[in-house]
Amino acid sequence: MHQFLQQIFSGLAAGAIYASVALALVMIYRATDLVNFAQGEMAMFSTYIAWTLVNAGLPFWAAFLITLAVSFVGGMAIERVLIRPVENAPVLAAVIVTIALLLIFNSTAGWLYSYTVQDFPSPFPDRPVFGALITTRDLGVIAVTLVMLAMLFIFFRFTATGLAMRAAAQNPESARLCGIPVGRMLAIGWGLAAAIGATAGIMVAPVLFLDPNMMGGVLIYAFAGALLGGITSPVGAVVGGLIVGVTENLVGTYLIASQLKLTVAFALIILVLVFKPNGLFGTAIIRRV
Amino acid sequence: MTAKHITAMSLAVAALALGSGLVWAAGQYGPGASDTEIKIGQTMPYSGPASAYGTIGKAEAAYFAMINDKGGVNGRKINLISRDDGYSPPKTVEAVRKLVEEDQVLLTFNVLGTPPNTAVQGYLNDNKVPQLFVASGADKWNDPKKFPWTMGWQPSYRIEARIYGRYILKNFPNAKVAIVYQNDDFGKDYLAGLKEGLGDKAGKMLVATQSYETTDPTIDSQVVALQGSGADTLLVAAIPKFAAQAIRKVADLSWKPNFFMTNVSASVKSVMQPAGFDKSQGIITAGYLKDPNDPQWQNSAEYKDWLEWMKKYYSGGSLADVNNVYGYSAAETLVSVLKASGNNLTRDNIMKQAASIHDLKLPMALPGIVVSTSTTDFAPIKQMQLQKFEGQTWKLFGEVISGSGS
């Protein structure tokens, strides 16, 4: 029984990691109608920026805020320079650009920072609690994920910019006619997604350890989580991420061998796409032409 | 003609004969070797998933640069042609064929990775090109009957795992052993070696096995499952990131097993420090090289030589990376074989010399560990020493153990 609980709590801790990256995926999808395959690597790269700042002697939270700002600007710059030229091309072109970005960020990080595993400081104390079921550090990750979720929810639901962003993503022409600066909205969307990714990276780096491949596996599980919850829904991303985390542990431990855990994630992606393409919480996007 | 004349003439003839003999001896060259140069080739993963190991090739080039500055080997400069294969076997085949057929290298040296070496082993043996000091921990490079042109270098994973198995069997005969391993050849060799080391009792002593994929974000779930099995001894056969995660998860679970860690992940800098020194206390590993991060070596003359060489010839390399010790030591082994080959630089003689190394001491190998080979033993390093993590460093204990035989 204790082992069963251990697996569930381990799954929740891992799920919170998937959820935080899934949030960034949802952000960019809501803002630009795109799936960004480089989201994980951008987050990893942001984490290296924070790591450099912390090593230069800055306090953790100062480094954190600077990294968010740099990532926001960097995300906007990527949209302006690399995504904008393929804006009107078929969606495949943008997908390929993001895959190229994935490789570029991964190799550049390896070249700049080497592939050696780095320790990353956690802002939260590291103590096992509740009979060693979970650590305070994992609880911290879960808490930050929930805070990000709340902020995103409020942003999209209650702010004019959030609303304008949704409009710009879903129907650029009409949005433009209503006076929404679509170009700026798309750039802000990329910037925000990069900042959310940076937060995710900084939160998970103390748990996964920082190296250029830190986010490779995470991204696949984050996709599974985002799709399961519904790629348009921040709440869905978090619930989906947590479900994926717990499911892979339980299935891997009790039903099949642990080498098939990744297969579970892919099976989940396919099942959701076939049977419930909008996910648990997602809404169907209806386009009027 | 006086006797004096005759003596002078015969001396002259003798001198001529001797002279031409020398010239003739110096002419014993295979492809790639000449009076001035020894051309050797390799592939390295300078790009791609294993690019962390690319530094080995750079370190080796830097080592040969130092040797060349000191006058080379028996007056000949070493010319290393090192090509990128991105850790992709088809590219290795292409690059190695080019090295052999176009560049005409004398031998290949320290080609990195199990899959790349497997891909060119047949080709190199068919063409009788030495495939020396393969940079891989797989066990299969020591097979002189079938592959007389292939020789490994480092202790194989299987040898290492056998050492752990034997140590556990001897000191903890009632242990309940659990292993988590990477689900590929590397991890499976550890599983096989551990079973061999435990011998007849493997079935009873090995109570739980778990594997992970390199795409898994964490191995927490596997560690939890192993603890749940009731094991009191744990062997982790994982690459550094997952090793650090395992150390931390074991501590988070308040689990206190006898903890054995693969030498692949014994780096103080990239495993123990990230995982936390407090959580790494008491972990046991087997080693054969000196970790450059380990304070206990940093005052030794051998370390200082290495450090000076790093600074002068490979200033871009990391002083914390044990791979730079690896490249230094492997290159040194090759230089010793080339020296021993003298002026007979044929591929046959190179293999003959490589197969007759007697107790060669490498400065950056652990004390007591020697390189030795014979015509039936193509595993140059097969000894390791157990070490336990105490404070911030590995403390050697017990004797140098040989892991050969099965």
Which chain B positions have a beta carbon within 8 Å of A7's beta carbon?
A: 221, 224-225
Q: Which DSSP symbol is given to B94? A: H
Q: Is residue A87 part of a domain?
A: yes
- Residue B58 token pair: 């750079």
Amino acid at B116: P
Question: How many domains are there within chain A?
Answer: 1
> How far apart are alpha carbons B157 and B136 in whole angstroms?
9
Which residues fall within 8 angstroms of residue B255, CB to CB, at 6 or more apart?
A: B223, B227
Q: Which domain holds residue A47?
A: 2-216
pLDDT band at B405 (very low <50, low <70, confident <90, very high): low
Question: What pLDDT score does B1 carry?
Answer: 47
Which chain A positions have a beta carbon within 8 Å of B183's beta carbon?
A: 259
Shortest distance, CA B104 to any CA of chain A (angstroms): 32
Question: What pLDDT score does B313 carry?
Answer: 97
Which chain A positions have a beta carbon within 8 Å of B216's beta carbon?
A: 217, 261-262
Which residues fall within 8 angstroms of residue A262, CB to CB, at 6 or more apart?
A: A217, A220, B213, B215, B216
Tell me if the domain spanning B157-287+386-402 has CATH number 3.20.20.80: no
If you measure CA to CA, which chain B residue comes closest to A8?
A: B221
Helix (H) or strand (E) holding A28: helix A2-32
Helix (H) or strand (E) holding A65: helix A60-78
pLDDT band at B9 (very low <50, low <70, confident <90, very high): low
Out of B217, B225, B228, closest to residue A217 by CB:
B217
CB B56 within 8 A of CB B317: no
Amino acid at A126: D
If you measure CA to CA, which chain B residue comes closest to A222?
A: B217
Please check whether the two domains, B37-155+297-375 and B157-287+386-402, share a CATH topology: yes
Question: What pLDDT score does B19 carry?
Answer: 46
**ipTM of the shown complex:** 0.81
Question: What pLDDT score does B318 carry?
Answer: 86
> How far apart are alpha carbons A215 and B362 in whole angstroms?
39
pLDDT band at A289 (very low <50, low <70, confident <90, very high): low
State the CB neighbour count (10 A cutoff) for residue A254. Answer: 11
Q: pTM for the whole thing?
A: 0.79
Shortest distance, CA A132 to any CA of chain B (angstroms): 5
CB B328 within 8 A of CB B309: yes
Which residues fall within 8 angstroms of residue A96, CB to CB, at 6 or more apart?
A: none
Interchain CB distance below 8 Å, A114 and B318: yes
The chain B residues in contact with chain A (CB within 8 A) are 47, 49, 51-52, 183, 210-218, 220-222, 224-225, 227-228, 240-241, 244-245, 252-254, 269-271, 273-274, 318, 320-321
> How far apart are alpha carbons A22 and A233 in whole angstroms?
10
If you measure CA to CA, which chain A residue comes closest to B218?
A: A208
Which chain A positions have a beta carbon within 8 Å of B253's beta carbon?
A: 6, 128, 132
Q: Is residue A271 part of a domain?
A: no
Q: Is residue A228 part of a domain?
A: no
Q: Are strands B37-44 and A134-135 parallel, antiparallel or unpaired?
A: unpaired
- Residue B55 token pair: 């530094």
What's the angle, vertex CA B313, arms to CA B309 and CA B319, rounded to 5?
60
| pLDDT tens, residue by residue, A255-286 | 777 677 778 888 888 888 888 878 777 776 66
Is B331 a residue whose pLDDT tops 90? yes
Tell me if the domain spanning B37-155+297-375 has CATH number 3.40.50.2300: yes
Shortest distance, CA B355 to any CA of chain A (angstroms): 35
Which chain A positions have a beta carbon within 8 Å of B220's beta carbon?
A: 10, 13-14
- Residue B190 token pair: 């550890």
Which of A131, A129, A151, A132 shows the shortest CA–CA distance to A140? A129
Which residues fall within 8 angstroms of residue A51, CB to CB, at 6 or more apart?
A: A113, A118, A120, A205, A210
Question: Strand, helix or coil at A156?
Answer: helix
Q: Where are the domains of chain B?
A: 37-155+297-375, 157-287+386-402
Which of B330, B305, B326, B332 shows the shortest CA–CA distance to B67? B332
- Give chain A's radius of gyration (CA, Å): 19
